[in-house]
Amino acid sequence: MRARRSNDSRAAPPQDPASDSGRQSSGSARRWQIWAQQAAAGQRPCFASELRFTCREPDCPWRDECQHLRAEWHR
Amino acid sequence: MNANTCGRNGTARVSFHFPERFVSALTRDTLALVLAGGRGSRLGGLTTERAKPAVPFGGNMRIIDFALSNCVNSGVRRIGVLTQYKAHSLIRHLSLGWGFMRGELGEFVELLPAQQRTDGGWYIGTANAVYQNIDIIRAHDPRFVLILGGDHIYKMDYGGLLATHVEQQADVTVACMEVPLADACAFGIMEIEPDGRVCGFEEKPAAPSGMPEQPDFALASMGIYVFTADYLLDRLRQDSLNPASEHDFGKDILPLAVQQDRVFAAPFRDPKTGARAYWRDVGTLDSYWAANMELIGVVPELDLFDTQWPIRTHQVQAPPAKFVFDDEGRRGMAVDSMVCNGCIVSGALVRHSVLFSRVRVEESSRVTDSVLLPEVVVGPDCHIHKAVIETGCRLAAGTVIGVDPEQDRQRFEVSPAGVTLVTPEMLQQNLDYIR
């Protein structure tokens, strides 16, 4: 099966419109949710923040999403 | 750091500290200077009337939009654009598309044409271009100066580059990427130590050496430099006094800096995969055509649809593209293509092509594997294949381009890879308007 990405109009999987992540996976709700999870686990809430520039955690479960190019006003 | 509380929609309330924003301080204290004065003569007829950074790209952009968007997206909002060669369309584009910065908040895109500020001449070399604006740089009082070319297609977060610069306590940090050895003689080639410190730099070497771990590749400078501002100003002053210097970053400033100071390389990689990131020098007709064609792919390497890293531009105000007639043998359609606003495809077929704004393709014509710049009119019964048609060209009914290279060579410009460039001048259409 051909790989698809966000610019392929057929790519978007159906999402639950009621869920936070259904609105926009990179939005503020998603960010705060992950920060809360990181904090609850005793970690620094660094997801999608500028700390990603110096990240040394290759095994972080959010790494792919976190390291995606993200304009300054989306961080 | 501030304590904060999170919790909504029934999720557990958790107290934690805000993430630090140290990179914001770096980008805020940076002045970007975009070198946009070059002609780009290898693009032939596309740059006879405009500078290379002003060449249209990707349907509704110009090449310089990538460097400027990268700056704004990275949080670098103090930008100077150094112009020289045939800059009118570039200046017009910047004033129409990049005038949104808020001066009250310390943001700007400022035009810096050659204006005889330090001597009586034009910009001579890249370092001299920056030196001639040394008083303006001082007035802005940046901590870092980011030097960029305005003629490459890529998406880069300069925040990471600045973070590397500060972490390494560097005087200069050079963004770099691996290029095949066969292409390396067109770049500044670097040798680095294991910690990333540059120990050798040669601009466009005749016999470039490969990297120790990848002998078929050389480490090339991308022409993107971060300088600590005081250091840069000092070195530019010294260089201006050297009569033997060509006043060029690649030929003069960097080789000397590598010998005397702390110069570090920052490899340009996809932050997610660690693989070599997308970067194109669209300096030839073939590479320009190919980079436009790549955008049409189902999953292009350069994702212009990514809302997290938007590429800003100025677009003409025009209605949506229109495709008319649906009769057998007279169907207006475009497939595997990008078609901009204001276009009309009337009973014609457009396949695997990029149509810029306000292009018209008339009845029974066929356009394949081509790039049609704004306001091109393709008359009826034309066949256009593997061509770049310059802004404003009007192709008469029955015109055939890209089918017989020998015939095309007599009238047009044909690249080594067989891309045909057509300009109004080649069609004896003397058009008085801005490209």
* pLDDT tens, residue by residue, B225-274: 999 999 999 999 999 999 999 999 999 999 999 999 999 999 999 877 88
Domain B322-427 has CATH 2.30.40.10: no
**AA letter at B218:** A
Query: Which of A21, A34, A53, A70 is best to mutate for the B interface (most B CBs within 10 A)?
Result: A53
- Considering only CB atoms, B308 lies closest to which of A26, A29, A40, namely A26
Q: Could B308 and A70 be called an inter-chain contact, meaning their C-beta atoms sit closer than 8 Å? A: yes
Establish if A46 touches chain B: CB-CB under 8 angstroms: yes
Establish if B297 touches chain A: CB-CB under 8 angstroms: no
Establish if A12 touches chain B: CB-CB under 8 angstroms: no
Establish if B15 touches chain A: CB-CB under 8 angstroms: yes
- Considering only CB atoms, A69 lies closest to which of B72, B304, B308, namely B308
Q: Could A36 and B11 be called an inter-chain contact, meaning their C-beta atoms sit closer than 8 Å? A: yes
Q: Kindly give the parts of chain B with pLDDT less than 70.
A: 1-21, 432-434
Locate the domains of chain B by residue range: 22-294, 322-427
Establish if B20 touches chain A: CB-CB under 8 angstroms: yes
Q: What is the pLDDT of residue B4?
A: 44
Q: Could A36 and B7 be called an inter-chain contact, meaning their C-beta atoms sit closer than 8 Å? A: yes
Establish if B220 touches chain A: CB-CB under 8 angstroms: no
- Considering only CB atoms, A69 lies closest to which of B17, B298, B309, namely B309
Is the dihedral angle over the CA atoms B380, B323, B317, B73 positive or is it negative? Answer: negative
Establish if A55 touches chain B: CB-CB under 8 angstroms: no
CA distances (Å), origin B125, targets A9, B83, B433: 45, 12, 30
Q: What is the pLDDT of residue B20?
A: 65
| Percent of chain B predicted with pLDDT > 90 | 86
Chain B: residue whose CA lies nearest to A7: B305
Q: Which residues of A touch B5 (CB under 8 A)?
A: none
Q: Which residues of A touch B160 (CB under 8 A)?
A: 53
- Please determine, for residue A22, whether its predicted confidence score (pLDDT) is greater than 90: no
Count how many pairs of residues, chain A against chain B, have C-beta atoms within 8 Å: 100
Split at pLDDT 50, 70, 90, the class of A25 is: low
Q: Could B309 and A39 be called an inter-chain contact, meaning their C-beta atoms sit closer than 8 Å? A: no
- Please determine, for residue A11, whether its predicted confidence score (pLDDT) is greater than 60: no
Decide: B160 and B272 in contact? Cβ < 8 Å: no
Q: What is the pLDDT of residue B435?
A: 80
Q: What is the pLDDT of residue B22?
A: 78
Q: Looking at the domain B22-294, which fold is it?
A: Spore Coat Polysaccharide Biosynthesis Protein SpsA; Chain A (3.90.550)
ipTM: 0.79
Calculate the CA dihedral of residues A64, A65, A69, A70 and round it to 10 degrees.
Answer: -160
> Rounded distance, CA B263 to CA B284, Å?
30
